Each structure stands twice: as structure tokens, then as C-alpha cells.
Amino acid sequence: MLPEFELFEPRDLQEAVALLTELGKRARPLAGGTDLIVEMREGRTRPEYLVDIKGLEELKGVTVSGGLIVIGALATLRVLERSAIIRERLPILYDAVSQMGSVQIRSRGTIGGNLCNAHASADGTAALLASGARLRLLGPKGSREIALEDFFSSTHKTVLNAGEVLTHIHLSTGSPGTGGAYSKYTVRKAMEPALVGVGVFLHTEQDGAVCRAARIALATTGPRPERAVRAEETLRGQRLSEELFTRAGEAAAGEANVGSNWRTPEDYARHLIKVLLPEVARRAWERARHEGRNIS
Ligand SMILES: Cc1cc2nc3c(=O)[nH]c(=O)nc-3n(C[C@H](O)[C@H](O)[C@H](O)COP(=O)(O)OP(=O)(O)OC[C@H]3O[C@@H](n4cnc5c(N)ncnc54)[C@H](O)[C@@H]3O)c2cc1C
């Protein structure tokens, strides 16, 4: 049963921040509610106040501005899935959101909620981590911008201060020779969290043969979505090949901070990473050689 709470509906972002600041730790922002309401129903969290931010128009939508893709924290997963900007310029995020939940969940759940819930198996978060996303936060002391990889403090926790909300996500529009892909392994085709998810983003030299830099992110059974930096090192500066992707998969499987749970024993999670990563890297490489060239 859903515990009792008091609901506030701020008219704008400033009012939302003021309310969250005043109510402090006993309050939580409510976006789509597909994580928060489920957790409240299951008794895993008990906020006394919910500040409903999902009506705040200024935090919705996807735009391209000054060489950046700017995604509002309240953009639903469905809006991202249907966005031409995301499909054409950030297909790694399209891969992730189009595999999440069901159409109903994607129509309600937001990308900001996926990030702020800080769950290790969050698909959108892992795809954005691989893409080098930066986050814009607004709180009572003003706004600040941080790299997504600095956003998580510990298991299920972020560095958001009291009263602070995530407003926007910033990404580079990409350059020729870049490309990314994301995939997750699940037993069922839909409505299942990832047993593991892998996102790979490659920067290649102009002819696409050599890897200038790579970012690899894992959605796992561990404490939080994480970079696989040893696997990235395996690719950096090297001539790309199937064999190299296999080596990167082995490196990522070795370094992943996975834990066992009833769905995914640790050795199975490592095995899945080893198998999945080369396939995802191959797709990222394909995009870097073809789609990346159309991006300006
Ligand atoms: C049936 C089902 C299937 C699902 N499948 C998947 C899946 O395949 N992959 C996956 O990754 N997830 C999945 N989810 C989880 C969920 O749908 C996503 O994580 C979704 O993106 C959460 O967004 P939301 O807007 O509903 O967040 P909410 O539930 O509203 O919020 C989540 C948390 O973030 C905080 N928050 C939200 N927005 C902000 C903000 N702008 N600033 C600060 N804090 C904020 C809230 O206070 C809360 O703590 C599934 C959930 C369900 C119920």
C-alpha cells in the first residue's frame, strides 16, 4: 500500500527549488513516478512530501544549441525514443531508451528520473555515461554543472544537495568518426531490468580504422553504473578489430564491480559482459565509420 504523503505542485522551477529547500530531506521531487512510487509502495522509501515537477515545461524536450544536444531532465523516455535528434545524433541513447520497460513506462518515466534514481542497472544512465554527458543542476545556491561520472556518491545515492534538482543533460553533438551503441541482456524481451547492459562510444581517426579514444559504461548488478576504464585503455590508440573487441570484453568482465544477486550470480554477470561488449563495440564502430560522418 502507498504510504501517506503530502503533494505539492509548484508553478515553476524556482518555486520547486524553494519548496524542496524548505521541506528538506523529508521531501522528494516526483517526475514520472515509475521508480519512486514503486519504491514507496514496497516500503523502500517513505518521503513525507512529494514535489511534483512533471508539469514544468522548461525541463522538457530535446534541442541542439551551440554545438550541444540539450535534453531536459523531464523529457520522457518515449520523447527521446521518438526524437529525430536522438535517433540521428545520439543513437546510443536511442538504443537504450527503446529497450526500457514498455511503451506505457516509457511514456511516463523520464531520463532525469533514470539518472537521479541512481540504480546500477539504469539503461539510459549507462548510455549517457558512455557518451560523456554533463549534468546541469539547480539548487538554492544557484546552478552548477558536473560530469555524469561524478554524479553518484554511493549505492543508490547522488551528489544532489538538499533542494537541488537536475534540470538538463548536455552532450556534444559529436564529430566525424564518432559513434556509440548500447545493448542489454535480459531473459525476456521486455519489461525486465538488464542483467547487464553495455554502452560503447568510440572516437576513431578519420579513416575509422584506429581508435583515438573510447568510453565504455556498464549497467550491472554492482553499486552503480560505471566506466570500464581498463577496457577503454585496451582500445585507445589501437587499430580496431574483432580480436581487439574480444580483448576489451575480457578486460571489462575482469574489472566490472559486479555483485551477486538472485537473478545474476557474479560469474554469470562477468560472462555476459565478455560476450556482449564485442557485439556492442562492433555496432559503435559501424556507426563511427558511417553515421558519425554526417554529424556536424
Ligand atoms: C515495469 C517497469 C519497467 C522498467 N524498466 C526499466 C528498464 O528496462 N530500464 C531502466 O533503466 N529502468 C526501468 N524502469 C525504471 C524507471 O522506469 C526508469 O528509471 C525511469 O526513467 C524513472 O523515471 P521517473 O520519471 O519515473 O522517475 P521518478 O520515479 O519520478 O523518480 C526517481 C527518483 O529520481 C528523483 N528525481 C526525478 N527527477 C528528478 C530531477 N529532475 N531532479 C532531482 N531528482 C529527481 C526522484 O525524487 C526519485 O528519487 C522500469 C520501471 C518499471 C516500473
Tell me, using a 6 A CB cutoff, whether residue 163 lines ligand 1. no
Question: Which residues neighbour 19 within 8 Å (Cβ) at sequence distance 6 or greater?
Answer: 8, 10, 27, 51
- pTM of the shown model: 0.96
Write the CB contacts of 104 (distance below 8 Å, at least 6 apart in sequence): none
> Would you state the pLDDT for residue 126?
97
In degrees rounded to 5, what are phi and psi of residue 51?
-105, 105
Task: Order the strands of the 27-30 sheet from edge to edge.
Answer: 6-8, 49-52, 27-30
Give the model confidence (pLDDT) of 198-236 as tens digits: 999 999 997 799 999 999 999 987 888 999 999 999 999
Cβ of 30 below 6 Å from ligand 1: yes
Stated length of the chain: 296
Ligand 1 contact via 117 beta carbon (within 6 Å): yes
The response to whether residue 16 sits with its C-beta less than 6 Å from ligand 1 reads no
Contacting residues for 29 by C-beta, under 8 A, at least 6 apart: 16, 20, 50, 51, 53, 116, 165
The answer to whether 290 and 273 have CB atoms below 8 angstroms apart is no
Domains observed in the chain: 6-52 (3.30.43.10), 57-172 (3.30.465.10), 178-294 (3.30.390.50)
Ligand 1 neighbour 103 (Cβ under 6 A): no
For the ranges 30-39, 64-73, 252-261, 276-285, which has the lowest average pLDDT?
A: 252-261
Give the span between the Cα atoms of 13 and 39, in whole angstroms: 25
Query: Distance from the CA of 185 to the center of ligand 1, in angstroms?
Result: 19
